[in-house]
Amino acid sequence: MKDFSSPECQGAHRAMRDTLDVIGGKWKLVILSIMLERKWRFKELVREIGISPRILSKELQELEINKLITRTVCNTRPITVEYEATSHSRSLEPVIRALREWGVAHRQEIIGRKENAVPQLSN
């Protein structure tokens, strides 16, 4: 349990920490980013993002717990599942769009137009 009475939680960054607890990590914003586009099926996400099924499953569960996506099982053969953004996650849409645009701007800021030559953007 987070200790809300601890000194570091009294400052202006408590809310930021809360946010990062929910949408932080390597994948959540990437998932939400493309999830805002349309409905997706599990395997579509695996392929589109390039993520392992295990990790994706875990991430989706956590997003669903926080009411950022919905999971809908369809009556098909075989069973298919649709994941979709909620209105709550759509409240993040301007932020996500801004973060994407900033990524593009940063690439210009740091490297000029020299694509594919940025140590800071390496994996």
Partner DNA sequence: CTGTATCCTCCGTGATACTG
Partner DNA sequence: CAGTATCACGGAGGATACAG
Answer for the pair 29, 46: CB distance below 8 angstroms, yes or no: no
Give the shortest CB-18-to-DNA separation in angstroms. 15
Answer for the pair 33, 96: CB distance below 8 angstroms, yes or no: yes
Q: Contact with its own copies (CB under 8 A): which of 54, 76, 78, 109? A: 109
Q: Contact with its own copies (CB under 8 A): which of 76, 104, 112, 114? A: 104
Edge-to-edge strand ranges of the sheet holding 40-41: 40-41, 80-85, 69-74
**Phi, psi dihedral angles at 117 (to 5 degrees):** -145, 45
Contacting residues toward its own copies, per CB under 8 A: 1-4, 6-8, 11-22, 24, 26, 29-30, 33-34, 37, 47-50, 62, 65-67, 88, 91-92, 94-96, 98-107, 109-110, 115-116, 120-123
